[in-house]
Amino acid sequence: MCGAPDQDTLPALEVSAGEAVVHGCVVRDGEPLPGAYVRLLGESGDFTAEVQSSATGYFRFYAAGGDWTLRTLYRGGSVDTKVTAQHGQVVEAKVVVPA
């Protein structure tokens, strides 16, 4: 079966000078939201990657520097969260979905 790795079993965060890490947690009512689909979209809205949030709501992407949109799809809707990544840096994003 094809797909992204289980987000709870990822190795420790490491970032090289040529990439950025965008990671964070999806929450609803202050609690982690497992099973949400988080998409990484480029500046022009082009699809780059997708992962499913873990049992703890966690997600992670390795990306190029620049402006990105995290489009989070969950039962009942979707929400967009803007992030800016820089090479060699880790960006933490908290995605809050409405109740």
Kindly state whether residue 72 falls inside one of the protein's structural domains: yes
Residue 91 placed within a domain: yes
In a domain, 6, yes or no: no
Q: What angle do CA 23, 55, 26 make, to 5 degrees?
A: 40
Q: Could you list the residue range(s) of the whole structural domain that residue 54 is in? A: 36-99
19 by Cβ neighbours in 10 Å (0-12 / 13-18 / 19+) ranks as middle
Q: Is the pLDDT at 10 greater than 80, yes or no?
A: no
CA angle 55, 57, 62 (to 5 degrees): 110
In-domain check, residue 1: no
- Over residues 72-94, the pLDDT tens digits come to 999 999 999 999 999 889 999 99
The verdict on residue 81 lying in a domain is: yes
- Total count of domains within the chain: 1
Q: Is the pTM of this model over 0.85?
A: no
